[in-house]
Amino acid sequence: FTWYKNGQPLLEGNRFTTKYDIYTKTLTLQVLAARPDDQGTYTVRATNPSGSDETTCNLTIRPTASIDTTPFIQPEFFTQLELKAPPLTKEDFDQMEPPKVIVPLQSLQVTEGSPVLLKATVIGKPTPHFLWLKDGAPLPASNRLRTRYDIATKQVLLQINDVRPHDIGEYVVIATNPAGEDSSVCSLSVQPDKPGVDDRAFVPQDKFRDLEHPQGKGRRPLEIIPGVDTQPFVS
């Protein structure tokens, strides 16, 4: 048996497998992981000393998208999300309460490196949105800063870990909702953490007296010779 593709002998490849079943007299060509370039006319020719015969077929490959574009969520579900909320009515506003600071922020003076927690108690209906400012500018993003609002206690919190000198400044929290807004201000001072110096002596002070006033007889006083020693250390 000889296989041809588009009139040319089929090139050998690990994706092509041919087999002839003697019992069923069936000849097969298996193409693994078919690709667009496998498309064409295939012919198989059978020969023996008595003669030959052949048969031909066409193979068509339908291309498939390399990326599955099937949506996980049907597009019509997004329609409801994209619809604008209806305008608020007078009844809606009557049920609202503007934000109100019940317990304001407290100014703090802390030591460098310590954690800081600024907190205020704020009520409002619906739940307010909160914006933190430092020295009049939005609080910069930092992995040392964490803000949250505890619905149960009505406390808005700003946590600063490992406080540093550049954290010094004026902090403002602004609470807003459709009914209004309120704010609270505090200041944060940071004292530098000066490392202490251990001024304890390694040797007790009284031990130096023996060196300054040696005891005992027979000791020769040290002879101090002015000038520069010109004798080499190594001969």
Are the C-beta atoms of residues 186 and 170 closer than 8 Å to each other? yes
Q: Please determine, for residue 18, whether its predicted confidence score (pLDDT) is greater than 80.
A: yes
User: Pick the residue with more confidence: 93 or 213?
Assistant: 93
Cα four-point dihedral sign 7, 12, 16, 18: positive
Biggest distance spanned by C-alpha atoms of the chain? 133
Q: Please determine, for residue 13, whether its predicted confidence score (pLDDT) is greater than 90.
A: no
Q: Tell me the pLDDT band of 35, cut-offs 50, 70 and 90.
A: confident
Percent of the chain whose predicted confidence (pLDDT) is above 90: 51
Q: Which tens digit of pLDDT belongs to each residue from 36-83?
A: 888 999 999 999 999 999 999 999 988 776 666 677 777 777 776 666
- Rounded to whole angstroms, the Cα distance separating 97 from 221 reads 94
As a dihedral over the C-alpha atoms of residue 173, residue 176, residue 179, residue 181, rounded to 10 degrees, the angle is 30
Question: What is the pLDDT at residue 91?
Answer: 74
Place of tokens 């800081």: 116
Domains of the chain (ranges plus CATH)?
Answer: 2-59 (2.60.40.10), 95-191 (2.60.40.10)
- HSE-CB at 178 with a 13 A cutoff on CA atoms is 11
Question: What is the pLDDT at residue 116?
Answer: 95
Paired strand residues for 171: 134, 186
Show contacts of 109-114: CB within 8 Å, 24+ apart.
109/188, 109/189, 109/190, 109/191, 110/163, 110/188, 110/189, 110/190, 110/191, 111/190, 111/191, 111/193, 112/163, 112/164, 112/165, 112/190, 112/191, 112/192, 112/193, 113/162, 113/163, 113/164, 113/193, 114/163
Q: Which tens digit of pLDDT belongs to each residue from 225-235?
A: 566 666 666 66
User: Pick the residue with more confidence: 205 or 32?
Assistant: 32
Q: Which tens digit of pLDDT belongs to each residue from 172-225?
A: 999 999 999 999 999 999 998 766 556 666 666 666 666 656 555 555 555 555
Question: What is the pLDDT at residue 63?
Answer: 78
Are the C-beta atoms of residues 25 and 70 closer than 8 Å to each other? no
Q: Which tens digit of pLDDT belongs to each residue from 126-184?
A: 999 999 999 999 998 888 999 999 999 999 999 999 999 999 999 999 999 999 999 99
Q: Please determine, for residue 112, whether its predicted confidence score (pLDDT) is greater than 60.
A: yes
